[in-house]
Structure 1
Amino acid sequence: MKVRVVSIIMLGLVALCSSFTASAADVLNNIMQRKVVRIAVPQDYPPYGFVGSDMQLQGVDIETAKLIANKMGVKLELIPVTGPNRVPYLQTGKADMTISSLGKTPERAKVIDYSIAYAPFFDAVFGKSNVQASNGGELAGKTVSVTRGSMQDEELTALAPKAVVHRFEDNNSTIASYLSGQTQLVAIGTTVAAALKQKHPGLDLQQKIILSNSPCYVGLPKGSPDLVAKVNAILREAKADGTIDKISEKWLGAPAGNLPES
């Protein structure tokens, strides 16, 4: 009797896994049949994704999402997400892809697929000019704000295990904590720091430590090779005709350069 029960359970698990695989493989077909692509994007991370004065989402990630939807010949549905939930939205089928300044890590690669890179991104620790922090050791005991689950969170944790890290659920809260003096330092992207300086003239925000050069990739459901191939083809064409460089120049102030293919 126990053998039969175990067999039934195992068959059920196999069927469930098969259904997940089939569902992931069918993402591209579903998009084309629906004639709508649902893309998760940031709304609080300038210049990659933020709400403009016209109350519309804009930035590098939003323009890249528009490019992909246009080349696929489907309508675009933007789905605002935060750092912690952009991957779960893919895993649970709430989004067909995520374009949210997403870096590539071995841990994420276990649960999602990636496109080729579409934009550059540097991570760094910033703080006031009078705060001494030129290496991981000098971060010991110092307070640093960072967005939970972000690349900066992972990099900071590895570099400075003795830092006093204040983790926040979204980028606005991370930045606000530094601006209000709750923390001495903040771990963000260099382009985000540039946008902050532009928004707050005279802000004392000096680059202290480069954490990494982490280009941005489109995140895609695990086991969706057709969709990965489609997105990669669109991005390669956009790189070749200069569209990727134009988007980068508009929002980041420089061409995208030689972005990695893996």
Structure 2
Amino acid sequence: MTARFLITAALGFMASFAAVPALADALDEIVSRNTIRVAVPTDYPPFGSVGPDMQPRGMDIDVARLIAEKLGVQVELVPVTAPNRVAFLQTGKTDLTISSLGKTEERSKAIDFSIAYSPFFDAVFGAKEPPVEDYSDLDGKVIAVTRGSMQDQELQELAPGAVVQRFEDNASTIAAFMSGQSEMFASGTPVAAAINEQNPDLDMELKIILANAPCYVGVAKGETRLLEKVNEIIRAAKASGELDRLSNEWLGAPAGDLPE
């Protein structure tokens, strides 16, 4: 009698657990609320800034909208700064972080990363003429650069024949180019984009790429289904040429062969 009672009670206890539905993950919640919350920059062109119409625009903004469109949900753009873009994801304030985020060992302990969606170029910029096809075309050209920067090191390695003018800060480097003191300057694409935005009539283009440190979508730890879905969307955009189109529009060069 006692044994029969214990068995019946145990079966009832197990059945009560079976009746409890599995906890919804981030992807389920996004679909259920019909909105995906994405942390984006609004102070870092060309990845994210506020346009003349007071609407956010940029590479990261368009990728956030692309992912929302492919998921069939609305997008809620959540402005963040570099220091809080990971924290917003960790504390559940956003579902994704798309904010020119590079993948590092330290960050990988806190969040997961998608495959790369965008290049992040260090490059040489200058007037449209003369053309630059190869690093050897920089021989004898006067190029301004910030002393000790990554671009300074890259110029030394890739264009040893260039005449490099070194300045103590980015503002002085840009001023040298704007005043005609140098023919070209080396910087990251966000710096050049900000110059273009402030001086739309300036005769300037990306001459040659020095380095590429790709950007990744940040996803909260353990959200495997959401991560897989984001990767699926990025791969499809790579295959269709959509990422190349967006990169050309915002960064001045195709996305190219981005790492998985």
TM range (shorter): 0.5 to 0.7
Question: CA-atom RMSD, angstroms?
Answer: 3.6
* 1:219 corresponds to: 218
* 2:90 corresponds to: 91
TM-score by length of 1: 0.65
More displaced, 66-75 or 242-251? 242-251
Q: What's the % identity of the aligned pairs?
A: 54
Task: Classify 1:237/1:131 alpha carbon distance in 2 versus 1 (closer, same or farther; 3 Å).
Answer: closer
* 2:253 corresponds to: 254
Structure 1 stretches of 4+ moved >2 Å: 122-126, 128-136, 142-145, 177-180, 199-203
* 2:179 corresponds to: none
SS in 2 for 1:129: strand
Alignment of 1:103-252 (within 5 A): 103-123=102-122, 129=144, 133=148, 134-135=152-153, 190-198=188-196, 199-200=198-199, 213-252=212-251
Task: Classify 1:130/1:254 alpha carbon distance in 2 versus 1 (closer, same or farther; 3 Å).
Answer: closer
Residue type at the aligned position of 2:65: K
Please tell me whether residue 61 in structure 1 is matched to residue 71 in structure 2.
no
SS in 1 for 2:87: helix
Return 5+ residue gaps in structure 1 as ranges. Answer: 1-21, 137-141, 146-174, 181-187
Cα distance, 1:256 vs. partner? 0.5
The separation in 2 between residues aligned to 1:132 and 1:245, in whole angstroms, is 32
SS in 2 for 1:101: strand
Larger radius of gyration, structure 1 or 2?
A: 2
Is the 1:51–1:57 Cα contact (8 Å) retained in structure 2?
A: yes
SS in 1 for 2:53: coil
Is the 1:121–1:189 Cα contact (8 Å) retained in structure 2?
A: no
The number of residues matched between the two structures is 197
Residue type at the aligned position of 1:193: V
Return 5+ residue gaps in structure 2 as ranges. Answer: 1-21, 126-142, 155-166, 176-185
The separation in 2 between residues aligned to 1:99 and 1:130, in whole angstroms, is 29
Residue type at the aligned position of 1:196: A
TM-score by length of 2: 0.65
Task: Classify 1:254/1:130 alpha carbon distance in 2 versus 1 (closer, same or farther; 3 Å).
Answer: closer
Cα distance, 1:50 vs. partner? 0.3
Is the 1:116–1:218 Cα contact (8 Å) retained in structure 2?
A: yes
SS in 1 for 2:194: helix
Cα deviations by residue, 1:131-159 (Å, 9 ceiling, x for unpaired): 655449xxxxx8657xxxxxxxxxxxxxx
The separation in 2 between residues aligned to 1:102 and 1:83, in whole angstroms, is 9
